[in-house]
Copies of this chain bind each other. A is one copy, B any other.
Amino acid sequence: MHKNFKGIEKTVYGRGSFNQLGEILAPKRVENEQYFVFIVDQYFKGKDLEVRVPAEGKDLVYFIDVDVHEPTTEQIDTLRDEILAKQGLPSGVVGIGGGSVMDIAKALSLMLTNEGSSTLYQGLNLVKVPGVYHVGVPTISGTGAEVSMTAVLTGPVKKLGLKCEWTVFNQVVLDPELIASVPTDWWFYTGMDTYIHCVESENGRFNNAYSHAFAEQAMKLCRDIYLGENAGQNAENDDKLMVASLMGGLSLTYSEVGVCHALSYGLSKILGTRHCYANCLIMNHLEDYYPEGVAEFKEMVKRFNVTLPQGLAKDWDDETITKMAHVSYNLPHMWLHAIGENWQETITIDLLKDLFRRL
């Protein structure tokens, strides 16, 4: 049984394509209560992009600070209740920001039409009816959230996505100009999310000719961007990084993430560490699992003088580490991919605790 996956419905790619957003939304404004909800990264408050958001009439614009914590089930539920109480069902939701903002937009779209708490829908195909029309506009590239069929939420019990075909964006606007001003550290961490997606996609049981072709090309783009002659933040590389992020995400459609993401979820769930940064902290210590990928990752870290702190685990007590290990252990689809059917023979809570202690 092969996965029958839903693709992004419409994609516009190119410098300045953000200017087309208003025109793209226009024909959808007849739907429902005839207004749009814009979820915009707080980072853009007061910046040029704020006034370029094509909000009009009774549209609602929320600036959300995603630095406080990753998207939570409670946050989505509260936002949904507030929007419905205020103006009823919107025509659609537009997320302008990074992976967190896009995940909020995707989750909100679904929760506007599905009753009860979003915690009920964390998992595969638990969502009951399609959400409202939703649009993703990445302003930082690498997470693949623009193409994925999941909206990752941290709930009281799980860090797990609302994963179904209706999660996928109806429209994506890929404008490389929007990522030009990303702070260099986050440009690095988030780009590495794509690189790590590819390493994990390639090294596991689910990899096939489809996922391989996308991962191989996304890795090539990452090498150009982070190790090539013209490495660094520049227009040419911004163009490439947007495509790499998309291809890395498409690679995962048929494959899976692995050891790094499983551990990263544990770290983020328990300590709230931001996803892409958590990945980098962990990737640094995964030579045993991905020798070539980790070696190249370290070259990239070195090339951009990125400081990845060491010795973090010495401040964590055993209870904290045990909790992290349990979150990571409970991601069987990742372990099945990375290790194989008998993954439980090698991956134990103790082994995971040891891995966390390396940080």
Interface positions of A (Cβ within 8 A of B): 1-14, 16-17, 20, 24, 165, 171, 174, 176, 208-210, 213-214, 216-217, 220-221, 236, 239-240, 242-244, 247, 254
Contacts and interface: CB of A to CB of B under 8 A. Distances in A.
* Copies of the protein in its oligomer: 2
A5 B1 contact: no
Contact of A2 (B2, B7, B17): B17
Contacts of A13: 2-3, 208, 210, 254
19 contacts: A1-B20, A2-B14, A2-B17, A3-B13, A3-B14, A4-B11, A4-B24, A4-B171, A6-B10, A7-B8, A7-B11, A9-B9, A176-B209, A209-B242, A210-B243, A213-B240, A213-B243, A213-B244, A217-B217
A129 to B, nearest CB: 15
Contacts of A1: 20
Given A2-B20, A4-B20, A209 B12 contact: no
Given A5-B12, A209-B243, 6 more contacts: A3-B12, A4-B11, A7-B11, A14-B210, A210-B243, A216-B220
A3 B12 CA distance: 6
A6 B8 CA distance: 8
Contacts of A20: 1-2, 4
Contact of A165 (B10, B24, B240): B10
Contact of A208 (B4, B171, B239): B239
A171 B7 CA distance: 10
Contacts of A174: 210
Nearest to A238: B209
A4 B9 contact: no
Given A213-B243, A247-B213, A12 B7 contact: no
A8 to B, nearest CB: 6
Contacts of A239: 208-209
A14 to B, nearest CB: 3
Nearest to A16: B2
A195 to B, nearest CB: 15
Contacts of A9: 6-7, 9
A9 B4 CA distance: 10
